[in-house]
Structure 1
Amino acid sequence: MCIAVAAVSAAAVVGLILVGVLVDLDTADRVASIIGAMISAISLVGFVYTLSRPTGVAVAGARSVQAGDSIGRAVTGDNNRQRGIAAQPQPSAAGPGPSTTMAPGVPGERAVAAGGSIGEAITGDGNQQT
């Protein structure tokens, strides 16, 4: 993928240089503006697609927490007090990055779901941790 993007970019640069040398700079300026607008539109579509795809985990319920990767600490209760650093989640066996498979939904209020590991989940009320 990266090689294809680099090849297309190199071809565009060479093409703009040839237009600038063989035709004139005004035409090269117009062509560069059109190419820039096309790249912007394609990038916008790619970003919208990336942001709208599913994360791989699903939760259903009020005050639930979900993440496509790992969670260090998730607190869903009321009047909780934590001190210190959150537990670090263990690296997942599949390696870094979000899960690509859909996990079954986690039902209920204050549910916690992650595509990776969960270091600490505090779901009750009035917990004090030192």
Structure 2
Amino acid sequence: MAMSGAARAWVVVTAVVAGLASAALVAVAVLADLDTAGQAASVAGAVVGLLALVVSVLALFRTGAPAAGARSVQSGGGVGRAITGDRNRLRSTAPPTPASSPGTAATAVPGERGVSAAGGVGHAVTGDENEES
């Protein structure tokens, strides 16, 4: 799975901060005593736990379209005609009217070459070398 530049930067920052925190806890254990190191680790664990809670709540309310499969079609409304694939030969020129069905806010995320619509789908052609007269 490819990571964006921002995601990669966050991974690096997180790794550096975690490494520094681990080194600091080891230094406290070596230079002070285990009781002090235990208390410091407890506070650090509580802070990390609270940060993880904030990140998970933000992820729940994240906006953005879910990722769909390769060469797929996803619509928030109706689709008259959806064609995916290579070397399809279609003779009909008038796009069909989407089948009437009530639209919903959420649609399923289609897999590879899939079609998903909140409204109806009039005609879907998927795959390669389909021929229609």
TM-score (norm 1): 0.51
1:47-103 C-alpha deviation (Å, 9 max, x unpaired): 1101112233xxxxxxxxxxx222xxxxxxxxxxxxxxxxxx5346xxxxxxxxxx9
Moved over 2 A (4+): 89-92, 103-108, 110-118, 120-124
Pairing 1:12–2:5 present:
no
Structure 1 unaligned runs (5+)?
A: 57-67, 71-88, 93-102, 125-130
| Residues 48 and 25 (structure 1), Cα distance of their counterparts in 2 relative to 1, 3 Å cut | same
Shift of 1:2: 1.3
The verdict on how the C-alpha distance between 1:90 and 1:38 changes in structure 2, with shifts beyond 3 A counting, is: same
Other structure's SS at 1:106 match? coil
After the TM superposition, which residues 41-120 of structure 1 pair with which residues of structure 2 at under 5 Å, given as runs? Answer: 41-56=50-65, 68-70=66-68, 89-91=69-71, 106=77, 109-111=102-104, 113=107, 119-120=114-115
- Taking structure 1 as reference, are residues 91 and 30 closer, same or farther at Cα in structure 2, changes over 3 Å only? farther
Question: How far, CA to CA, are the matches of 1:32 and 1:54 in structure 2?
Answer: 35
Q: CA deviation at 1:12?
A: 0.7
Q: CA RMSD in A?
A: 3.4
Where in structure 2 are there 5+ consecutive unaligned residues?
1-9, 79-100, 122-133
**8 Å contact from structure 1 (residues 20, 27) kept in 2:** yes
Percent sequence identity is 30
Q: CA deviation at 1:115?
A: 7.2
Greater relative CO (CA pairs within 8 A, separation 6+)? 1
1:69/1:114 contact within 8 Å kept: no
CA distance in 1, matches of 2:62, 2:116: 26
Give the aligned length: 85
| Letter paired with 1:48 | V
TM-score (norm: length of structure 2) = 0.50
